[in-house]
A and B are shown apart, each in its own frame.
Chain A
Amino acid sequence: MTNIHSTAAQMSDALSAGSITSVELTEQHLDQIHKVDSQVHAFLHVDRENALAQAREVDAQRKSGQKLSLLAGVPLALKDVLAQKGVPTTCGSKMLEGWRPPYDSTVVSKLKEAGVVILGKTNMDEFAMGSSTENSAYGPTHNPWDLTRIPGGSGGGSAAALASFEAPLAIGTDTGGSIRQPGAVTGTVGVKPTYGAVSRYGLVAFSSSLDQAGPCARTVLDTALLHEVIAGYDQMDSTSINAPVPQVVAAAKKLDVKGLKIGVVKELSGEGYQEGVLQRFNEAVDALVQAGAEIVEVSCPNFEYALAAYYLIAPSEASSNLARFDSMRYGLRVGDDGKASAEEVMNLTRHEGFGAEVKRRIILGTYALSSGYYDAYYGSAQKVRTLLIRDYQAAFAKADVLVSPTCPTTAFKLGENVDNPVAMYLNDIATIPVNMAGIGAMSLPCGLAPEDGLPVGFQIMSPAMKDDLMYQVGGALEAALINKWGKTLLSDIPVLEGK
């Protein structure tokens, strides 16, 4: 019986078999959102009307015998950083409150073409800057495993929607870990594809050389199915890769890692990592050995500088990208009394429209790019980026994929790091090198930490344009772990009863 706990692949099968309609499936999910989202707050906007209209259309097409894509009629939660025509798109900011984009992002166009039903827009740290969704101007999202804890960020809404069975599929974006870290702390799967694999057209830019949209789901196969829907060359994004999309669905189904070399990154474990995180990570590595993979230890000595370089490069690019929020053509405008100058209105609008973290990063980026400091900060950070790429090249010469814990700890408490940016930034220590080098990586659950009973994420990194490799290893590891546990990780999540 298909229900909200089914996988997207099962839903797809049931839809094809005619045992459920997309309208029924969509209503089940809208009901679940209605029931539990007052506790979780994964959604900023639930688009009931459009979702049901989309579902009705898919059902009609199916009835008429039209050939449909695999995910046609399956519901999805969309991170509120992607433009969807006519639907509020806020990026978690007051700056864009009430803005309805006049066009679809390429990701949304592709989802619509595939008949995927978009349930609504999910909560996020403002302009994707954060690791906890506490920087959302509309209040934080709560982790469904423990409502007093963070769901990760910036895509905490998308991950929490999956873990609370509000949607079987979600879209995230990942600039320094914003897909993978929320996946890790909610016990779900998230993939940051190779940079350029998924079009950035209509993705509100935070840091253009790092931003990448990607698929999120509760299983590796579902993630792969969604990956193939959204990936591909797009003329509207000049940094889009013009090459065939790797066969990630086939890779996820292989369930075979015999002979593959798995590199354990020495620098991404040990000091600073929670004991239970390391324990579950090591058990997962053992499971891969049992499945026939070969483990090699690799060293990436420059990774210790990745976080520092990231917190110069990303704010620098953000300070430039967010200059577009100038109150002239769209978004918030404050203080336009007929006497104030454009510049004064701009100053006031940006004062009111941006939250503390966004301001902090804009100022930091402005500093790093300013004359006299450029070479020491931004210039040095760009050199570190080169060193990180060299580290990866050397590591991938020894191993097919690299692995690490996704995050140093399990989900922390809401409020715990709100006013300590440096501590907050440390969450991304294992995810950031991936974005800096432009390669792909996945996080999938590898157990609950014994000390707190919270999910631990396992990160698999693959070379650029070889995203199929992480799916192959991820699919095999997931199968091995479920076999070992006798159940899925999410079957242990507390049931939300609604308020």
Chain B
Amino acid sequence: MAGISRDEVAHLARLARIEMSDSELDHLATQLDSILIAVASVQEVAQADVAPTSHPLPLTNVTREDVVRPSLTSDEALSGAPAQVEDRFKVPQILGEE
């Protein structure tokens, strides 16, 4: 597996929605390189006949009765909101103004 380039890190940072300075990108590219070398060993033993495990418990579709029960009031739910308006979360514009 080839090393990771600075441009790739910049792309990943965009995907992860994290603004990064040039120096952060440089530093991270170097560090990720050494981490990826260290973790690449998983490929040595991951044979095709081994089933993957995503979770330690063999659970599927855990459901409960769909019943109405007490929940947070809107004041409580909005208590940590960075901005709010008329009982709603106020967020920056999502689509352009035009």
Contacts and interface: CB of A to CB of B under 8 A. Distances in A.
Does A pair with B? yes
Interface of A: 99-103, 195-196, 209, 235, 238-239, 241, 302, 304-305, 308-309, 311-312, 319, 323, 326-333, 336, 338, 340-348, 350-351, 354, 359-360, 362-364, 366-367, 370, 376-377, 379-387, 389, 421-422, 425, 436-438, 464
Given A331-B80, A331-B82, A421-B35, A309 B42 contact: yes
Given A305-B41, A312-B39, A195 B92 contact: no
B51 A376 contact: no
Interface string B19-47: 11000100010011011101111111111
Nearest to B50: A383
A99 B80 contact: yes
Nearest to B59: A239
A380 B46 contact: yes
A376 B43 contact: yes
23 contacts: A311-B35, A323-B17, A328-B82, A329-B80, A331-B80, A333-B83, A338-B92, A340-B92, A346-B17, A347-B18, A362-B18, A363-B28, A363-B32, A367-B12, A379-B52, A381-B42, A383-B52, A383-B53, A384-B45, A384-B46, A386-B52, A389-B53, A438-B56
Contacts of A422: 34-35, 38
A329 B62 CA distance: 27
Nearest to A436: B56
A380 B43 contact: yes
Interface string B58-98: 01001010000000100011011111000001011110100
A347 B89 contact: no
A347 B80 contact: no
A330 B72 CA distance: 14
B51 A383 contact: yes
A330 B82 contact: yes
Contacts, number: 173
B19 A350 contact: yes
A376 B39 CA distance: 11
Contacts of B34: 421-422
Nearest to A346: B17
B46 A367 contact: no
Contacts of A383: 42, 45-47, 50-53
Contacts of A332: 82
Contacts of A380: 42-43, 46
Contacts of B93: 341-342
Contacts of B46: 379-381, 383-384
For the side of the interface on B, what is the size category? 35 or more
A81 B8 CA distance: 32
A100 B91 CA distance: 20
Contacts of A308: 38-42
Given A302-B45, A309-B42, A370 B92 contact: no
A102 B72 contact: yes
Given A305-B44, A309-B42, A422-B38, A385 B53 contact: yes
Contact of B52 (A302, A342, A385): A385
A329 B89 contact: yes
A353 B96 CA distance: 25
CB-CB nearest 5 A-B residue pairs: A438-B56, A330-B80, A382-B52, A380-B46, A333-B82
A319 B55 contact: no
Given A239-B55, A336-B83, A344-B92, 19 more contacts: A102-B72, A196-B57, A209-B54, A305-B41, A311-B35, A323-B17, A329-B81, A332-B82, A345-B92, A346-B17, A351-B19, A363-B32, A364-B36, A381-B39, A382-B54, A383-B50, A386-B53, A421-B35, A438-B55
Contacts of B62: 238-239
B67 to A, nearest CB: 11
Contacts of B53: 382-383, 385-386, 389
Contact of B12 (A238, A366, A437): A366
A323 B18 CA distance: 10
Contacts of B32: 360, 363-364, 367
A377 B9 CA distance: 16
A363 B76 contact: no
B45 A387 contact: yes
A342 B79 CA distance: 20
B14 to A, nearest CB: 8
A102 B83 contact: no
Contacts of B13: 363
A70 to B, nearest CB: 29
B48 to A, nearest CB: 9
